[in-house]
Chains A and B, each alone.
Chain A
Amino acid sequence: MNVAGNSQDNGRRNGRPPSHNGKARSSRSRYSALRLLRHGLSQQDWPLAWRQPPMRSSYDVVIIGGGVHGLAAAYYLAANHGITNVAVLDKSYIGSGGSGRNTAILRSNYLTPEGIRFYDRSVKLYEHLAADLNFNVMFSQRGHLTLAHNDSSLRTMRWRAEVNKLQGVDSDVIDAGEVKKLVPYMDTSTTVRYPILGALYHPPGGIVRHDAVVWGYARGADALGVHIHQDTEVTGIDVSGDRVTGVRTNRGDISAPVVVNCTAGWSTLISDMAGVSMPVQTFPLQAAVTEPVRPFLDTVVVSGTLHVYVSQTDRGELVFGASVDPFASYSTRGSLEFIEGLAGHVLELMPPLSKMRLLRQWSGLCDMTPDYSPIMGPTPVEGFHVDVGWGTYGFKAGPVSGEAMAETIATGRTPEIISSFGLDRFTQGRLVGEKGAAAVGH
């Protein structure tokens, strides 16, 4: 496999060579407080954060899907490996899929050692992401609480806490009194339907600004020479023998020795085009947001039993989410059943919220796998890679996945950190069961 950087556009715009130390640098549009002030005063338009270059007929790497996964993979291919003749194609605008619709919870308190190690690497990358990308992604590590309302969930939480600690992740079981201290508005009385027995507390967890992550990676990748093509829908994948040779799009054909499927909820449709079948089913996941109120909630709260979670954004809105819709679908229409159930459950946890008004609800598509773990790496079609199976939990994994997929493509070897997530695990019976840590808390 040869995917070495193409010299004609090696990120050398403005006469600057690309830096390969994981940081995007473009003198054209470096953001700073001074520039903000100058721009604000002069009332000029900001330059576009990424270009709209003409589409080439061939690239070294074509990435399908302009969500956080596709854009991060492109960025790390360029930043860490100097591979810049890369195109990211999206049938709509970047971030139009799950990456612009998620509730932006980041955490690493998973259940399996493989999962914990992987998500922990992502949290670490997120901690430096704003500096690396020169883009404020507003990562707020405000702490993450998963409530236990019965003995069996308390048992799972103890189990998670111990496995977390062994992997060096800050995570512990706390009692209802400590929960009350962290979230004074929570009903911790013992007479309710589902009393709170305790919680798994994960201080490094928190929320991020999802659009900023998408835009930051897009801008960083573009500055290093990557082409981002929006409104470019892949309609077919060319395979010759057992090797991928390119893709067909509504804007013409592209030849490429490496094609990466980063299309989450649509990923089986793309893999089908290459003749690769995957154990993925697409389910909608809904969320909702209230009008903004003064800050009162500075942790993320999840209740698996009540199928609900809540956090408060920097603007003051409460963001609510739940588990996926009860049947597979590609429809992103919201339902009244969802919002009624959600409101009832939220009020069981925090009765004082009864006066709050919902602003809107929405839905996104989730690519669910049987074990709630992703599918990453090569497929039986040489050169055709997948980075899918992100279900309801994949936004937090954007950085580590991009880094690992870039390494897989650049070196031809699957790095250890994703070696348990291969497509062949399903037929070989090596599942990485994360349901207990990912079904409701995303």
Chain B
Amino acid sequence: MMLLPCPWCGPRNVSEFRYAGEAGTRPEPGQATPEQWRRYLYFHTNPAGWVRESWYHGAGCRRYFPLERHTVSNETRATGESR
């Protein structure tokens, strides 16, 4: 079983959560070119190591929160932030 540290609910089984992908910086919609939007939508860093991502606790507090996870070992560490 793999546990994720929800900042609101504490450690809970990963099956309660939905993966929302790597945390990225959304370009300013008014200014971004179509090409910049597509880069934001489609391109990820996909590292074999630590990555900062966004998760949704659907079966708990129903909030999005940031998380750091090691993509090879699946270890996680809380970021200390709640959003």
Interface membership of B9, Cβ < 8 A = no
Question: Which of A71-79, A152-160, A180-188, A322-330 is the interface stretch?
Answer: A322-330
- What is the 8 Å Cβ interface bit string for chain A, positions 299-334, against chain B (1 contact, 0 not)? 000000000000000000000000000111111010
Q: How far is the CB of A437 from chain B (nearest CB, A)?
A: 20
How far is it, in angstroms, between the C-alpha of A179 and the C-alpha of B19 when the chains are bound? 36
Q: How far is the CB of A257 from chain B (nearest CB, A)?
A: 27
A330 touches B48 (CB 8 A): yes
List chain A residues, Cβ under 8 A from B47: 269
Interface membership of A22, Cβ < 8 A = no
A429 touches B19 (CB 8 A): no
B38 touches A429 (CB 8 A): yes
Q: A326-B18, A326-B19, A330-B48 are in contact. Are A278 and B43 (CB under 8 A)?
A: yes
B72 touches A279 (CB 8 A): no
B residues neighboring A (CB under 8 Å)? 1-2, 14-15, 18-19, 21-22, 34-35, 38-39, 41-48, 71-74
11 A-B Cβ contacts within 8 A?
A: A269-B46, A279-B43, A281-B44, A328-B46, A330-B48, A330-B71, A337-B15, A426-B38, A426-B43, A427-B35, A427-B39
Q: How far is the CB of B14 from chain A (nearest CB, A)?
A: 8
Q: How many residues of A contact B (CB 8 A)?
A: 24
List chain A residues, Cβ under 8 A from B35: 427-428
How far is it, in angstroms, between the C-alpha of A327 and the C-alpha of B56 when the chains are bound? 12
List chain A residues, Cβ under 8 A from B43: 277-279, 426
Q: How far is the CB of A356 from chain B (nearest CB, A)?
A: 25
Interface membership of A370, Cβ < 8 A = yes
- What is the 8 Å Cβ interface bit string for chain A, positions 247-282, against chain B (1 contact, 0 not)? 000000000000000000010110000000111111
List chain A residues, Cβ under 8 A from B38: 426-429
How far is it, in angstroms, between the C-alpha of A279 and the C-alpha of B41 when the chains are bound? 9
How far is it, in angstroms, between the C-alpha of A337 and the C-alpha of B16 when the chains are bound? 12
List chain A residues, Cβ under 8 A from B42: 279, 370, 426
List chain A residues, Cβ under 8 A from B48: 266, 269, 330
How far is it, in angstroms, between the C-alpha of A245 and the C-alpha of B73 when the chains are bound? 34
B74 touches A331 (CB 8 A): yes
Q: How far is the CB of B72 from chain A (nearest CB, A)?
A: 5
List chain A residues, Cβ under 8 A from B22: 328
A331 touches B72 (CB 8 A): yes
Q: How far is the CB of A71 from chain B (nearest CB, A)?
A: 24
- What is the 8 Å Cβ interface bit string for chain A, positions 150-178, against chain B (1 contact, 0 not)? 00000000000000000000000000000
Q: Which residue of B lies closest to A367 (CB)?
A: B46
Q: Which residue of A lies closest to B4 (CB)?
A: A327
A329 touches B74 (CB 8 A): yes
B72 touches A330 (CB 8 A): yes
Q: Of the candidates B1, B14, B71, which one forms a contact with A328 in the assembled complex, judged by CB atoms under 8 Å apart?
A: B71
B71 touches A329 (CB 8 A): yes
How far is it, in angstroms, between the C-alpha of A370 and the C-alpha of B71 when the chains are bound? 19
A282 touches B18 (CB 8 A): no
List chain B residues, Cβ under 8 A from A429: 34, 38
List chain A residues, Cβ under 8 A from B45: 268
B19 touches A328 (CB 8 A): yes
Q: Which residue of B lies closest to A336 (CB)?
A: B1
Q: How far is the CB of A35 from chain B (nearest CB, A)?
A: 44
Q: Which residue of A lies closest to B19 (CB)?
A: A327
Q: How far is the CB of B31 from chain A (nearest CB, A)?
A: 17
Q: How far is the CB of B24 from chain A (nearest CB, A)?
A: 12
How far is it, in angstroms, between the C-alpha of A277 and the C-alpha of B47 when the chains are bound? 12
How far is it, in angstroms, between the C-alpha of A426 and the C-alpha of B74 when the chains are bound? 29
Within 8 A of B (CB), among A9-41: none
List chain A residues, Cβ under 8 A from B71: 282, 328-331
